[in-house]
């Protein structure tokens, strides 16, 4: 007699199959960009432990960078205490153990995974007895409660209102640079995964226009990097007109379409992207971004700095030389050390002649301070070699300086027009009501 399955049994089997299908559909490897926006909890996985990534000695300075390729695994071993910078060890994997040859000794290096740690075994070298059975942890574990680890320094970090955190750090010896995104002290992702040539994995772009609010000062900094599926832009901007800062990040698809833009909490910021200007990173210095400001030949701007003067004052003069021709200043402003150029800065302020002189030195010798920026303000009687000064008209300035007309901006909302003669060096004329009210000569990019 044939036996038919009961309806209840069929229902149970159907539900079981359906649950398997749903499970397969919802399991995802994830993506850095999506991980940043996701609040879901990671489900336990039965897959083999992923040994790739950066591991650091739990108590010590050694680090292991493990990379999986088509031929197996490659370990990049750094051991600063003995000057071992980047020893490569090629390994095979058996279960959760990596086995490789070291200095011709077959199977002499073993790394086995145990409770979130990698245990290192090195035989038969007496030189390595001190680290035999040393434990390594993922770099994210060691830095879970810190922005940097030993041998690293923080460049820039901030938090967002939804408790995400951006961290940019580098090795103290410039050996690598990396970005991390965290949420509630849990790592979302780290970039790049391979620290070799990591500086070239990023592009840093900036535009700097000084002169304060009257000059519509702007310091705009952007750090860009790409994963396989997303473009990331981290921004750090200061607007002098409104005296406001703006920090945060954007996520775009590979076609450049904006997916998400998140502002950072200003009170949480540490450091600045400006520090990247003095680093090995790929850099693009921005052009003038105002539609009304056109480029003035760079060589002409450099020539102006070399040949122009305000009365007896010329760029490059030492402080004692300035003292000889116009005397001591009414006040001195010590501007301190600037990371962007590695110089110590100070300003001499002359109220009687309405002039500010800015000096820089790159040594500890006070006699080496040189004049790099010269400004004259309303009320000053100083004139340029072409007899231009405070109160000169736009027409007089344009007649005096060739090719200047194309570099003149449109009038802004404050009634100010700017004339940039040079890109990084040159002169800046500020006009209001068609008359000059300030002239700057010198190093434009630092001001």
Rounded to whole angstroms, the Cα distance separating 288 from 389 reads 25
Q: Is the alpha carbon torsion for 400, 215, 296, 408 positive or negative? A: negative
CATH class of 53-141: mainly beta
Rounded to whole angstroms, the Cα distance separating 191 from 142 reads 17
Beta 282-285 vs 203-209: how paired, if at all? parallel
- Name the phi and psi angles at 95, rounded to 5: 55, -120
Nearest to 291 by CA among 394, 409, 206, 421: 409
* pLDDT (0 to 100) of residue 121: 81
Query: Over its length of 447 residues, how does the chain's per-residue pLDDT go in tens digits?
Result: 444 455 445 444 454 444 444 444 433 333 445 444 444 343 444 456 778 777 877 666 677 888 876 678 888 887 765 656 667 888 888 888 888 877 666 667 888 888 778 888 877 555 566 666 788 877 654 444 345 555 678 889 999 999 999 999 988 888 889 998 988 778 888 888 777 778 999 999 888 776 666 666 778 899 999 988 899 999 998 887 777 888 999 998 888 888 999 999 988 888 889 889 888 998 876 533 333 344 455 567 788 888 899 999 999 999 999 999 999 998 888 877 776 567 788 889 999 899 999 998 877 666 678 999 999 998 999 999 999 999 999 999 999 987 777 778 777 767 788 888 877 788 889 888 899 999 999 887 543
Whether the predicted model's global pTM rises above the 0.75 cut = no
């Amino acid at each position: 007699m044939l036996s038919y399955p009961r309806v209840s049994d069929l229902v149970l089997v159907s539900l079981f199959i359906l649950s398997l299908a749903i499970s397969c559909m919802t399991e995802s490897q994830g993506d850095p960009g999506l991980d940043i926006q996701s609040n879901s909890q990671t489900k336990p996985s039965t897959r083999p432990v992923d040994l790739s990534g950066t591991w650091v000695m739990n108590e010590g300075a050694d680090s292991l960078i493990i990379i999986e390729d088509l031929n197996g695994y490659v370990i990049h071993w750094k051991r600063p205490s003995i000057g071992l910078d980047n020893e490569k060890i090629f390994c095979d994997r058996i279960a959760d153990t990596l086995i490789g040859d070291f200095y011709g000794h077959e199977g002499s290096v073993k790394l086995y995974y145990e409770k979130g740690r990698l245990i290192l075994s090195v035989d038969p070298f007496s030189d390595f007895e001190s680290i035999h059975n040393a434990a390594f942890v993922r770099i994210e574990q060691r830095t879970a409660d810190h922005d940097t680890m030993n041998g690293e320094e923080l460049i820039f970090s901030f938090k967002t209102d939804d408790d995400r955190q951006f961290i940019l750090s580098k090795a103290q010896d410039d050996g690598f640079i990396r970005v991390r995104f965290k949420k509630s002290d849990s790592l979302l992702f780290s970039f790049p995964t391979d620290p070799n040539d990591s500086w070239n994995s990023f592009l840093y772009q900036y535009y700097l226009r000084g002169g304060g609010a009257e000059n519509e000062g702007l310091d705009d900094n952007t750090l860009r990097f790409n994963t396989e599926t997303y473009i990331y832009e981290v921004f750090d901007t200061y607007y002098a007109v409104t005296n406001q800062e703006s920090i945060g990040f954007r996520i775009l698809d590979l076609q450049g379409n904006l997916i998400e833009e998140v502002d950072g909490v200003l009170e949480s910021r540490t450091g600045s992207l400006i520090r990247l200007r003095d680093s090995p990173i790929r850099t693009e210095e921005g052009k003038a971004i105002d539609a009304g400001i056109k480029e003035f030949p760079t060589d002409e701007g450099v020539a102006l700095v070399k040949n122009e003067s305000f009365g007896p004052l010329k760029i490059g003069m030492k402080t004692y030389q300035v003292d000889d021709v116009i005397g001591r200043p009414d006040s001195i402003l010590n501007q301190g050390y600037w990371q962007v150029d590695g110089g110590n800065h100070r300003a001499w302020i002359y109220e009687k002649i309405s002039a500010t002189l800015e000096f820089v030195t790159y040594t500890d010798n006070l006699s080496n301070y040189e004049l790099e920026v010269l400004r004259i303000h309303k009320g000053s009687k100083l004139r340029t070699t072409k007899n231009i000064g405070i109160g000169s008209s736009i027409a007089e300035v344009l007649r005096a300086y060739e090719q200047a007309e194309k570099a003149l901006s449109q009038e802004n909302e404050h009634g100010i027009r700017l004339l940039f003669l040079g890109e990084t060096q040159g002169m800046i004329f500020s006009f209001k009501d068609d008359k000059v009210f300030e002239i700057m000569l010198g190093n434009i990019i630092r001001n």
